[in-house]
Chain A
Amino acid sequence: MISLKVNGKKHELDLSPDVPLVWVIREHLKLTGTKYGCGKGLCGSCTVHVAGKAVRSCQTSVGDAEGKEITTIEGIPEDHPLKKAWVKEQVAQCGYCQPGQIMQAAELLSGDKNPSEEAIIKAMDGNLCRCGTYPRIKTAIRFASKEGGK
């Protein structure tokens, strides 16, 4: 039995500890906002927070996440400045990469309330978007950092 704490809720799961966290979150817990994109840590679609840090949940085994605080896109409050900024800037196109983008950006803003352009690019460069929403992601992060500072 593995016990996981996701978005403040406890789950007991009967599975092997080496299953990648992304599949446990998505298919076992049915929190499908977290996406699979590459399984190799190359795209960022699966980004979640484990103990406050953005991690690629495809590169984290469920065993390693046991007992730690896990936050997924579903655990980000609706009025979070990033969610508001994403809507305001109309960032999403197909939308598939966006939960990962937002989770990555959330970590950035939690450590740096007013990130520079360089800091934004550095933090976000591991997250791919085939639809090409990068310019709007940048604008949205800037907007959210201003909002968040208020």
Chain B
Amino acid sequence: MNSSITRRTFLKAAGFTIAIAITPSGYKILSAKESEEAMGKGFSPNIWLRVMPDNSVIITVNKSEMGQGVYTSLPMIIADELEADWKRVKLEVAPAADGYRDPVWGAQATGGSSSIRHMYEPLRKAGAAAREMLVTAAAGVWNVPAAECEASQGTVKHSASKRTVTYGELVKPASALDVPKDPSLKKETQFRLIGTAVPRLDIVEKTDGSAKFGIDVMVSDMLYATVARPYAFGAKAEAVHDAMAKNVKGLKQIVHIDRGVAFCADTIEAAWQAKKATHIVWGKGADPDLSNETLAKSFEEYLPKDGVVARRDGDVQTALAAASVKLDARYYLPYLAHATMEPMNCTAHVQKDRCDIWAPTQNQTGTLMTAKRITGLAPEQIHVHTTYLGGGFGRRFEQDFVEEAVQTAKAVGRPVKVIWTREEDFQYDYYRPGNLSRIQAALDDKGNPTAWSHKIVCPSIFVRVFPDTMQKGIDNAAVEGLSNLEYDVPNVSVEYVRIDTPVPVGFWRSVGSSHNAFTVETFADELAYLAKKDPLKFRLDLLNKHPRAQRVLELAAEKAGWGKPPEKGIGRGIAYHLSFDSYVAQVADVSVDRKSGAIRVHRIVCAVDCGPVINTDTIKAQMMGGTIMGLSAALKESISFGRGKVLTENFDAYDLLRMSETPKIEVHIVKSDAKLGGIGEPGVPPAAPAVANAVFSAVGVRLRNLPMTPDAVLKALKVADGKA
């Protein structure tokens, strides 16, 4: 794409440079010299690592840092293979460019717990290639066989002659060499960084307040903007009365953009004041009566409809009909907001021949395309500057906030920072879809399941985001964790019923697994009790073909003291889930206040198998954070609808888990040789079912809807008491 820019960068780049050309058929590691030639052949290699004459190593990261630690873990991979001196490693954030696309996706984006899974191999090869070249260069300088030289922490050593040379001193001769075709990778025992707890490279910035998030961007001559968006889903502005707004001091311009009306001013407070002074008459919108009740009713109405079959093993209907012991349960889960602590925002500057965007984005390719569509500029004229993200969780994959900033900036001709209020952030999200499941199962006389039928009614994310993946009308996100149900049951059916509502839906940390783990794992628990088996044993028996699942369940159970009775008043529950190629099991200890209905989670013991371990501390932090987000959703979160719109406005109506509600969390890592698994999301799914199962063990009631609020618990307790 931007070979001219790249070429210039190469020429300017002092030091020894390694590039990677990411092409549709894979990736190629190239030296600066080879890159020059490759560009002539239409490749667009981009710089990934530079060894500088001052011995520093600059590593480019193509993924967004939103807390998950990629600004540390990705450089670790290169640095380890390179045998770099970690203290001299600096990181550089990649611009949006073809050469920085994810080699698996073909797009520059961060999500799906995939950063390490997709980048591990190319980054290792890049580091190893550079190391071999530095060793070859040193051997050349000393005129000794390369096999006698050894790379070690930023230097090459020749022990026979006791000579040492730093990487910085080898910049010139190494630059003249070709990249080895197949550099030998380190053995696991040779890793210095990979597999250890390396401190985050961004930790100081994120402690002293100097880390720059999107909302912190300052550009000279910049205006501030706020956008008035439709009152209800799909509503259009019928009249805009802005005469009063025009008197607001500092107001510069009012701009009509696709998503609403943007008020641009010298200060954000003036922009808000102008918005407040404007009266906009909105049309009715897509469904003026939309509310919690109408949504719940629609889901119910869709449940009996025929869906598409996402999985069919054997004959579920016959097996269900033949069985005498059966279980039939329904689960209703709410829409959720991302509630990143940094509200949506974006800064843009559109000029005749150049567009700059400063964005906390998870999706650089999407941002580039959005800007291209709006400005008509060529990709190489568009510069995407990725800032730190104050949380992402899938929300910042979307382009709505970018679109607003670019359209506004284009109209105004000056840089514009669009800031969303928290209220707007809650009301204009792409929500985790609400969903309704019905699960039916049958047990034989030994208590083994013979049939499992799972039907889910769920809006589709993919139909909007990746319509090409909708094979046979199945949204893979909606059925993840279901179509790959691991329990050994001879007759399985998974059916998906798509429901379209005006509520926009999007990726929310762990996506379909965020709801399907709850339904599957609480249902499995119920089945275990029905079969009069220990819930752990019941699961293990059904997972003989999945030893990794068994291992995390066993480890979490062992560390939690499963089998020994918990303290009086404590209920203990277990759950596991496979997502993003990682297995996570959790054991929850809870108590329930029968008077208030409040659930108190005392402890979560978590075991994770994500295959090879890159940074143990990142894994622990992500498991902890994922668990807490999972608990937050399980106990507290749900978006409220009414009058055709979202009613939820701020944290008073949508509180997140707080410190006082956070349990002790233990994380245990299973070392395995399995393929690399993700780590950002898989901590979320098992938390809710582990807690719900623990609630059952504590007070004997099954909670099949989320969130498990005190009211919901009280209601369930009342029903149970009434029956007793």
Contacts and interface: CB of A to CB of B under 8 A. Distances in A.
B422 interface: yes
Contacts of A76: 208
Given A33-B210, A74-B208, A132-B629, A96 B624 contact: no
Given A95-B202, A95-B205, A95-B211, A42 B651 contact: yes
Nearest to A118: B660
B621 interface: yes
Contacts of A124: 659
B164 interface: no
A30 B218 contact: yes
B659 A87 contact: no
A49 B149 CA distance: 57
B391 A131 contact: yes
Q: What does DSSP make chain B's interface, helix, strand, loop or mixed?
A: loop
Contacts of A42: 650-652, 655
A109 interface: no
B342 interface: yes
A92 B209 CA distance: 11
Contacts of B496: none
A132 B627 contact: yes
Interface in A24-60: 26-28, 30-40, 42-43, 45
Interface in B658-678: 658-660, 662, 664-665
B341 A132 contact: no
Given A19-B269, A43-B341, A94-B342, A132 B209 contact: no
A95 B206 contact: yes
Q: What does DSSP make chain A's interface, helix, strand, loop or mixed?
A: loop
B339 interface: yes
Interface in B626-659: 626-629, 632, 650-652, 655-659
Given A38-B422, A42-B651, A135-B665, A92 B660 contact: no
A90 interface: yes
B658 A73 contact: no
A128 B626 contact: no
A12 interface: no
A130 B267 contact: no
A80 to B, nearest CB: 9
B388 interface: yes
A13 to B, nearest CB: 11
B66 A90 contact: no
Interface string A89-100: 011111111110
B202 A92 contact: yes
B629 A135 contact: no
Which of A27, A92, A93, A127 has the most chain B CB within a 10 Å cutoff? A93
Given A95-B388, A96-B341, A129-B341, 12 more contacts: A27-B268, A32-B218, A40-B422, A74-B209, A78-B208, A87-B207, A94-B341, A96-B213, A96-B390, A102-B207, A135-B664, A137-B659
Interface of B: 65-69, 199-200, 202-213, 215-216, 218, 224, 267-269, 339-343, 388-393, 419, 421-422, 617, 621, 624-629, 632, 650-652, 655-660, 662, 664-665
